[in-house]
A and B are shown apart, each in its own frame.
Chain A
């Protein structure tokens, strides 16, 4: 058993590179995801991850390079434009928020696809990798990016924790006590975009969305304080990453896919078993109640 766990670490440095990268990305994604979940903005993560594509392409067109900072800059600028467009649209009384997200991100993404297939066909942008990632083949560039981005995001969340918490819980009150609610909102959007871009090479644009949404959703079933919700989200994502990586290695399948599937299974377990919201406990409680009422 131990042999079985240790072996992959001796097969080359791709193992620890993959482990480090995927854990760091997943932890940052889980922490940000908690706030998005509580703000009912999980879908924004989806939008921003897609919008990053035209951002990266545009940055490449302007600068001719695909270095980490350039990619991040392009993705953040276009991501903020998209976030602003979504906000502005959904503030109109006639446009529903979910439709606003759908309209904006698909349009932006489509522009990215067109640019990729025409103007920048010669650039070595691997769309398959961008969308699905390659945990077991992390480049130095991707590792460096993650090592810079993730600690920065986590430190910023720690510093602004109170403001993020109060503006997620009660934005009007937050505004009234002088919290820069707008800045918190766009700061969160920026952090999500940056984390998603940093995670592209490891897990891809599609699956990074799952790493943002699922841990927070699971943790919400288990926690009744914000601190413990973040703790549960991180625990969820770390377990998903470990188990998912081994599954991927031994079943010779997509690591990102395996990680997300494990995460989904854990969510299901929490959904059924959580002491407060768990469906099984609820069923048991109502069964007991009906029995006692019968015996009376």
Chain B
């Protein structure tokens, strides 16, 4: 018997009023892999993320983590939102954002101990933003902003990492720095789920792939799933892709 999958999605349906975003989605993500979720706009990728992180309950179906039914609290799950999701004018520094990653364990009124500060420091070093610590986040480049959010996730810790389009609007060096960090997490046995847009890097980045367009078109190891036929079906002629 192998260890249970990190994430099991069973027959999940999610809708907004009359618009169905996800229809009977069933997919399994094994522990310790780097998974891409790919599909056109409106395919329900963000909705799936909302379901995984618990921001929205599925209308039907079931989610299981490590073999157990999902409860409201998911402390093992770490979420990195889309870069556009926050107000960049917010009066907070890069370090301030990273420190939020420790809020769950530090609590409301206790001060940050030396140990907690060390975790914040290590996370900032891992993505190379220590020099930017006291900048207000609006004064950072897109790539730097994404690194800040990744650092927050790193210092939060967890077994499953969920990232919503981490490469949107970032420079090439940030993209490869982020990938290095994600591969490092995978090698430590963490499970990493990434909503991704750029089909040209899919093969290089992900062990496994989920092709989504309201239903799961295909899921499994990247080399099996990433075929011209599957992409055609996922994008329904919206893009012309050449897969050699």
Contacts and interface: CB of A to CB of B under 8 A. Distances in A.
Given A178-B73, A223-B91, A93 B16 contact: yes
A178 B103 CA distance: 10
Contact of A178 (B85, B87, B104, B136): B104
Interface in A200-224: 220, 223-224
Interface in A80-96: 93
B55 A220 contact: no
A173 interface: yes
Contact of A225 (B55, B96, B106): B96
B81 A170 contact: yes
Interface string B15-39: 0110000000000000000000000
Given A162-B108, A225-B93, A226-B91, A172 B55 contact: yes
A214 B104 CA distance: 33
Interface residues of A, number: 27
Contacts of B75: 178
Contacts of A160: 108
A224 B135 CA distance: 9
B92 A226 contact: yes
Contacts of A166: 100, 103
- Give the interface SS of chain A, mostly helix, strand, loop or mixed: helix
Given A169-B90, A225-B93, A159 B108 contact: yes
A172 B92 contact: no
B100 A173 contact: yes
B225 interface: no
B103 A179 contact: yes
Interface of B: 16-17, 53-55, 73-75, 77-79, 81, 85-87, 89-93, 96-97, 100, 103-104, 106, 108-109, 136, 152, 156
Given A172-B53, A177-B104, 7 more contacts: A40-B87, A162-B103, A166-B100, A170-B86, A172-B55, A173-B100, A176-B77
The 4 closest A-B pairs by CB, nearest first: A224-B136, A177-B104, A229-B91, A176-B79
